[in-house]
Structure 1
Amino acid sequence: MTDDYEPSPGRRESQTHTKPAGNTAPRSEQPRRGRSVGERLIRIRSGETETESTPALCTGQHRRPHRHPWSLSGRPRPRLLSRRRGIVAIAAMIAAVTGLAACSSDDNGSGNTANGSGAPEIVVGNIGTYTGPTASSQAQAQDMAKAWASWVNAHGGINGRRVKLIVMDDGGNATTALSQVKKLVEQEHVVAIIGNHSNSDVNWASYISGTDVPVIGGTSLDLPFVTNASFFPVGPSVIAGLYGVLQIAKSTGPKMGLLYCAEAPQCASAVPLYSTLARALDLSIPYNAKVAASAPDYTSQCQGLKEAGVQSVSVLAPSDTVVRVHRACADQGINVPEVAQDGTVTTTWLKEPSLNGMRAVGYVAPFYDRSIPATQEFHDAIQQYAPGIEAVLSEQSADVWASGKLFEAAVRAAPAGDLTAAAVKKGLYSLKDETLGGFTVPLNFVEGKPTSIKCWFTLGIEDGRFVGPKGLETECAPASVVDPVVATLG
């Protein structure tokens, strides 16, 4: 599904970038059924399963160049084809037609100007899994992306140029996601993809590497943000984030419990990784068990935590399951504080007494903070352009905002001349210890190398309100622990 989000009417002018050659995707671009431990782990917080949903169709007209009636390439085919080649060609044609129908656009491709000045718009893309099983935890990200674009344009654009945002919803389908990213790059000519919340980014990461288009920010827990040089994270890597969770757990005592979702194999695959990192902190995990979202109660898991004598627990499951587990344990007189990934924490947790004392790793500045101009601006934009997400606000929105602000900084730092995708990358490389006014940990990017950020913020809940145990100070994982583990994910 495509959403051309343009806060005010106008005409769009295409941006220039290096376009990948060829019409056939290499094998590395195709959706992969097997995933490494790191790849499987990245979806724990949203409870995604390994299955793919059917791509949703969307409205709009797809404009195709004239092609020879017998050939997808525009040239006549040989008269004779083997049966196997014929079947492959037909299958490819059907896939192409259905894929294009699923991500068509209403945009007419005309040029657009900013504030009547004649300056062309800056076209950027956003992709996420905004419908399907994980939509409840990620849907607000697209609203925040639109709010960012509206806020930027209402404040003069970037260097006097308006932003046009094109939003794609992959519906949790890997094939759809790849098709949509190709559309953003090859047809919409975006100069960047910001706020990536696609659960299928491992399937299109190799494609984007063959272009100049940077993927700026989004869910930094996703594997490409630590293994792919075309991805520019705004927060710590999945390994540093897990280390942060374990470090917080260690501060409460030497034993941590681990509960993980029963619905998807990738949840269980996280256990060995947690154990490896825990040893570096001299922390033990004496009890781990599955939790199913559909379970009527969690008596056995709560009793297991009690018998193991743990001082904290990390529940790797969707946000509402975390709430139900802690509520069930509290009903049995078992109160073990939660140590969470910030992505699962929402404002709804404030209403749950059993989560009092919770601590979490924050990937960007805590989403509730208003203590500095950078975080206040974030809330001002929400109030003006996305008030509906305030009641369920989470880190998902904060990392999208950070993505947009990093893109702004990159454009302003880009070389003079045409603003291309390659120029945006040069702008990113020129930034040094960039914190976006305190909204992120210091960000540095090296050309041609993946980025492994090792620092995070800390947040918690006390007496029904959010607290920052260390304010906006950050903590970092040692490179000697994180880097060897990251090296195994490449």
Structure 2
Amino acid sequence: MTPTHPTRRQLILGAAAAVGSAWALPGRAQDSSDIVVGQSAPLSGPVAVAFQGALAGERLAFEEINRKGGINGRRIRLVLLDDAYDTQRTVENVRQLVEQEKVVALTGLGSTAGVAAILPYIAEKRMPLVGVYTGAHVLRLRPHPTMFTTQASFKDEVEHQLRTLVTLKMDKVGVAFQDNEFGKLMMPVVEATAKELGATLVASAPLAVDGSTSAQAVGTIAQARPQAVLLIAVGPSVVGFVKAAKAGLNVPIYTLSVAASAVPALGGDARGLAMTQIVPFPWRQVHPMARDFNREAAAADVAVNYNSYGGYLGARFLIEALRRSAPAITSDNLIRTIQGIRNFDLGGIQLNFSPTNHHGTNWVEITIVGPDGKFMR
């Protein structure tokens, strides 16, 4: 997720949320008619900054609908708890949200391990989880009765990258992968997808999470003379590899959407980096939702970027599902409602669900980092 430079307003909201918060339209007391939605998110810890944009985007959407009178006169109240990106805290938070806060739905969980850990519990409780901030393919391998995704998976991103390279006759590909659970889970996905599409993986090299082995990884891959490189990493390892590649590997580098957090730290070295995106271009105000988002962001002093737009769109879909479930908004009814949604236009992405398909889209596009770190389509 792309980190944003938080505005003063975001810092105030983040400080209030760090110990857990119940949020709704300012100036009104909570009441029993509220539609209560729950979220466990890393408000502190190693990835807290990267989540600020998405959380700010969600708030824009909920504030917007509440300002307009909510759903049939009922406002949406988001109960937001900090999990510090810790699996056990995520499990505890979800139990609190379901059993004490009596939420009608969960939304916006961000940790792959955390989501995996709560799936049996929410299935037992028939609690819908609408939208997650992890693209892990492993969470999508088997149908889950109450989890719904509104963004493409990491596998979808890799497939789009490799399909593009094969089309461009650049099918000899090197892979640099982060030497942790994320990278190791992704390598079998990359290998299987390359075989399926007819690409040849000529070399692969692990990357230390802190980027300290970047020069060695670049050297290993360069010896195989690839036509392009897939970089399966986030954070400092992206920065280290791209900087090292400028001197020792003169081929295009393709990264996943989650690597966007490294663009500011790369500075001018980010120019030319190819990056898949799973959210439409937020600066092109052709779609009504993009116009709504940009208007709300400007009024609230929220930075416009892929993260904040992704959070806004995810919340807009949840709001639409709640609206279609009215007047009897229950967890079971919400599940049935989402399973019946077809061809819903979410900012330019078509979402389709059914009782056997809970993953609404595999939409991906490739952007290029241009001058001054700006994305170009």
Shorter chain as normaliser: what TM range? 0.7 to 0.9
Change (3 A) 1:294 1:221: closer
1:4 aligns with 2:22: yes
State the alpha-carbon separation in 2 of the partners of residues 325 and 341 from structure 1: 14
Match of 2:202 among 270, 273, 286: 286
Q: Give the match for residue 178 of structure 1.
A: 91
Counterpart of 1:8, as a letter, is P
Q: Give the match for residue 167 of structure 1.
A: 80
Q: Give the match for residue 4 of structure 2.
A: none
Q: Give the match for residue 481 of structure 1.
A: none
**What whole-Å deviation, never above 9, does each CA across 1:3-34 have from its counterpart, x for those lacking one?**
21233143434xxxxxxxxxxxxxxxxxxxxx
Q: Give the match for residue 255 of structure 1.
A: 172
Q: Give the match for residue 376 of structure 2.
A: 467
State the alpha-carbon separation in 2 of the partners of residues 169 and 218 from structure 1: 15
Q: CA contact under 8 A between 1:126 and 1:167: conserved in structure 2? A: yes
Unaligned ranges ≥5, structure 1:
14-110, 112-119, 469-490
Counterpart of 1:385, as a letter, is A
SS at match of 1:168: strand
State the alpha-carbon separation in 1 of the partners of residues 250 and 264 from structure 2: 16
Q: CA contact under 8 A between 2:56 and 2:311: conserved in structure 1? A: no
1:214 aligns with 2:167: no
1:232 aligns with 2:172: no
Q: TM-score normalised to the size of structure 1?
A: 0.66
Larger mean CA deviation between 361-370 and 228-237 belongs to: 361-370
State the alpha-carbon separation in 1 of the partners of residues 81 and 64 from structure 2: 20
Q: Give the match for residue 48 of structure 1.
A: none
Counterpart of 2:124, as a letter, is G
SS at match of 2:223: helix
Unaligned ranges ≥5, structure 2:
1-18
Counterpart of 1:429, as a letter, is Q
Q: Give the match for residue 418 of structure 1.
A: 328
Q: CA contact under 8 A between 1:205 and 1:224: conserved in structure 2? A: no
Change (3 A) 1:251 1:169: farther
Map 1:197-212 → 2, pairs under 5 A: 197-199=110-112, 200-212=114-126
Match of 1:136 among 49, 55, 80: 49
State the alpha-carbon separation in 2 of the partners of residues 219 and 243 from structure 1: 19
Match of 1:400 among 301, 308, 311: 311
SS at match of 2:173: strand
Counterpart of 1:466, as a letter, is F
1:379 aligns with 2:287: no
Q: How many residues align?
A: 354
Map 1:64-213 → 2, pairs under 5 A: 111=32, 120-199=33-112, 200-213=114-127
SS at match of 2:345: coil
Change (3 A) 1:366 1:277: same
Counterpart of 1:221, as a letter, is G
SS at match of 1:158: coil
Change (3 A) 1:351 1:259: closer
Change (3 A) 1:226 1:413: farther
Deviation at 1:351, TM superposition (A): 6.5
Change (3 A) 1:318 1:376: same
Q: TM-score normalised to the size of structure 2?
A: 0.84
1:300 aligns with 2:211: no
Give the RMSD, CA atoms, in angstroms.
2.6
Overall identity of the aligned pairs, in %: 20
**What whole-Å deviation, never above 9, does each CA across 1:296-352 have from its counterpart, x for those lacking one?**
56322222232211122222222343133212221x253332212112225945973
Counterpart of 1:257, as a letter, is G
SS at match of 1:455: coil
**What whole-Å deviation, never above 9, does each CA across 1:183-208 have from its counterpart, x for those lacking one?**
11121111111222234110001111
Indicate the structure with greater helix content: 2
Q: Give the match for residue 260 of structure 2.
A: 345
State the alpha-carbon separation in 2 of the partners of residues 323 and 350 from structure 1: 7
**What whole-Å deviation, never above 9, does each CA across 1:426-465 have from its counterpart, x for those lacking one?**
3212321112242x2x212222654374332332223443
Q: Give the match for residue 319 of structure 1.
A: 235
Larger mean CA deviation between 196-205 and 286-295 belongs to: 286-295
Q: CA contact under 8 A between 2:235 and 2:262: conserved in structure 1? A: no
SS at match of 2:22: strand
Q: CA contact under 8 A between 1:217 and 1:403: conserved in structure 2? A: yes
The structure number with the bigger radius of gyration is 1
Change (3 A) 1:265 1:454: closer
Larger mean CA deviation between 249-258 and 177-186 belongs to: 249-258
State the alpha-carbon separation in 2 of the partners of residues 287 and 347 from structure 1: 24
Q: CA contact under 8 A between 2:41 and 2:82: conserved in structure 1? A: yes
- Dislocated runs of 4+, deviation >6 Å: none
State the alpha-carbon separation in 1 of the partners of residues 77 and 291 from structure 2: 24
State the alpha-carbon separation in 2 of the partners of residues 5 and 300 from structure 1: 48
**What whole-Å deviation, never above 9, does each CA across 1:132-189 have from its counterpart, x for those lacking one?**
2232332433233223222222233233321111112211222221111111112111
SS at match of 2:359: coil
